[in-house]
Amino acid sequence: MKLLKEEVVYRGKFMDFVVREYEINGKVKVRQMVRHPGAVAIVPVLPDGRVIYERQYRFAVGDYIYELPAGTLERGEEPLRAAQRELVEETGYRANRWRKLAEFYLAPGYSTEYMHLYVAEELEFVGESRDEDEDITLVPMSLEQMESALKENLFKDAKTLVGTLMYLREVRGC
């Protein structure tokens, strides 16, 4: 496979839309893709063991969904620094202990978005500083509530499913 041409057809605030031409087996193919700086998601664990989720309105789906706190990397930003920033901005908590849980692509068929998933522990409340367009309600859940939410198909996005399942596997030992 050989890349013949690449054109940025739209440059957005957080991502670019790109058209690429490839030569594959002697034929020219055109592919559209999203170039994304990457993102972070956080499993924030309160001192009592509950995990903080967010009920947030998402314009793309036109509904409220339950998610782990998350956000987009600013260009050139280190993933851990972005996770620390997003946790304070969205929840008002700062974590004194961080560890990487996983890394994965969200939609490799059309996007370069790469997710860095962290567990944040030893939380202390320092005050929220949300963006004015974010409609977020914090929803702490126990391990049992997380398992029920999975069974009831409450979580509708990939990062939350991956983060919840991996964290439960880790703490439940299964």
**Which residues are annotated as catalytic?**
132
* Reduced DSSP (H G I as helix, E B as strand, rest coil) percent helix, strand, coil of the chain, to 5: 20, 50, 30
DSSP SS3 for 91: helix
For residues 89 and 165, what is the distance between their CA atoms, to the nearest angstrom? 24
Measure Cα distances from 66 to 5, 38, 51, 135, 157 in Å: 40, 21, 12, 12, 8
